Structure 1
Amino acid sequence: MINIDIYQHFRQEEYELIDQLTDKCDQAEQHYAPVLTHFLDPRGQYILEVICGSYEDLNVSFYGGPNAERKRAIISPNYYEPKESDFELTLMEIDYP
């Protein structure tokens, strides 16, 4: 569980995201299983890295495809090595006349 006052380091409009990401970290820690997030922008990725860094037994990995700015994250116990398929991404091509 997070034991620092994380809010003092971020803007007030980011508090809801902080709460959501902290909840995801708590889930991963309590169930000792990987948790997948929604897509995060670079600022959200940074916030998650800060939050996850306060948990001893958790890692965070990001993936969104080559050169992606917005990425999904997997918060996982230290023993877990995420694979690309764990991020549940599918590439689609649409041809429109």
Structure 2
Amino acid sequence: MDKRQTRTLFLFQFKLGRNAADTAQNINVAFGLGTTNERTAQRRFRKFRNCDESLEDDSCEGRPSDADKDEMKAMVEANPRMILKDNSSKLNVSIGAVSSHWQVEEAR
């Protein structure tokens, strides 16, 4: 079951006046344990109560990755002891992006 289908069931149950806990439990009984959880239902019900009945994902605006992978590789190879924070700020990417790239290179 995909997210949109689960959210449709959440909205249906919300419109019937059901609560998030019972909704999550019923979905898991009907479609299998782990299909959803109470916390996810609570978040979606909160959106519905705030007049947001959209079933789409919220747009996530993260830090865009403008880094050239070759440039990142060159920086890591040139000075592997350089602090990740320094590399990430020079490349205008997240620390996680540099760290992930560095770990991939280490594994090779």
TM-score, length basis structure 1? 0.36
Pick the structure with more strand per residue.
Answer: 1
Pick the structure with more helix per residue.
Answer: 2
TM-score, length basis structure 2? 0.34
Question: Which entry has the higher C-alpha Rg, 1 or 2?
Answer: 2
